[in-house]
Amino acid sequence: MKITVIGCWGGFPKINEASSGYLINEDGFQLLLDCGSGVLSKLQNYTKPAALDAVILSHYHADHIADIGVLQHALLIDSFTMKTREESLPIYGHQESEGFSTLTYKNITTGVAYHPDEAIQIGPFEITFLKTNHSVPCFAMRLEANGHTIVYTADTAYKEEMIEFAKGADILLAESNLYKGMDGTSAGHMTSEEAGIIAQKAGVRTLALTHLPHFGDIKQLKEEAAQLFEGTIVLAHEYLEIGL
Ligand SMILES: [Zn+2]
Ligand SMILES: [Zn+2]
């Protein structure tokens, strides 16, 4: 399994970069996890949009879905020209808020509902869900394939249940939109310290801090998390690759 960070900025993309988007590869299967602003452009340094096997979305905030429309255009144009793919691209999303209906586009993409209480199989990945504490319905995901596990917190304030959900993961891809000492309860986001606590209690191997803030010195996030987590910590950046 390999994760490639396509975009790691919270809320909106930093200049010349992208907001949330992660390409997850296993056995040649390419799953795009979230598709925020700037992701379609940046993704093309790694793969052709038409070569994706599936997309899954945590929630319908623009910094996670803004590029779904242009992904659909890219595939439509490919269907007229290169004809790379024969089948409609599945885009998995939840149905607990508006947004799901936009995932189906002509015969180009097909919205597929995931039900948070049921595990689903997408290619080699078995995926389970945990509802997060966010301003809109949003789901953390645990992806397991061939004995490896990635847990993605998506957007969330600190949530005790995340510890059990992330238990023993190889990689915890945790949002850290805030710095130590801040209170993310009403914003629905976590601090570096909270990400560190979850990583430590869940016993994960690597903590990757992402959904980064546009203020302060982001290097500090890693130092703050390291005061609470003894394992490996990486700060997400464009095209960071984490292999398993
Ligand atoms: Zn976000
Ligand atoms: Zn959000």
| pLDDT, tens digit, 9 for 90 and up, residues 195-209 | 999 999 999 999 999
* Closest-approaching ligand to the CA atom of 99: 2
pLDDT value of position 214? 98
Confidence of residue 140 (pLDDT cuts 50, 70, 90): very high
Domain 2-243 has CATH 1.10.8.50: no
pLDDT value of position 169? 98
* Closest-approaching ligand to the CA atom of 37: 1
Q: Are 25 and 4 in contact (CB under 8 A)?
A: yes
The rounded distance, in Å, linking the Cα atoms of 192 and 177 is 8
CA 220-223-225 angle, to 5 degrees, is 110
Q: Are 205 and 231 in contact (CB under 8 A)?
A: yes
Q: What percent of the chain has pLDDT over 90?
A: 99
Q: How far is the CA of 44 from the centre of ligand 1 (A)?
A: 22
Confidence of residue 97 (pLDDT cuts 50, 70, 90): very high
Contacts 24+ apart (CB under 8 A), 66-72: 66/19, 66/35, 66/36, 66/37, 66/39, 67/21, 67/35, 67/36, 67/37, 67/38, 67/39, 67/40, 68/35, 68/102, 68/103, 68/109, 69/102, 70/40, 71/35, 71/40, 71/109, 72/105, 72/108, 72/109
In the predicted model, what is the mean pLDDT of residues 113-138? 98
In the predicted model, what is the mean pLDDT of residues 67-88? 96
Q: How far is the CA of 77 from the centre of ligand 1 (A)?
A: 29
Which residues, including other chains, have CB under 8 Å from residue 223's CB and lie 6 or more apart?
A: none
Closest CA to 151 of 226, 205, 83: 205
| pLDDT, tens digit, 9 for 90 and up, residues 163-189 | 999 999 999 999 999 999 999 999 999
In the predicted model, what is the mean pLDDT of residues 208-218? 98
Confidence of residue 8 (pLDDT cuts 50, 70, 90): very high
Q: How far is the CA of 193 from the centre of ligand 1 (A)?
A: 18
Q: How far is the CA of 176 from the centre of ligand 1 (A)?
A: 10
Confidence of residue 228 (pLDDT cuts 50, 70, 90): very high
pLDDT value of position 241? 98
**What are φ and ψ of residue 231, in 5° steps?**
-80, -165
Q: How far is the CA of 201 from the centre of ligand 2 (A)?
A: 24
Q: How far is the CA of 134 from the centre of ligand 2 (A)?
A: 7
Confidence of residue 133 (pLDDT cuts 50, 70, 90): very high
For the chain, the average pLDDT equals: 98
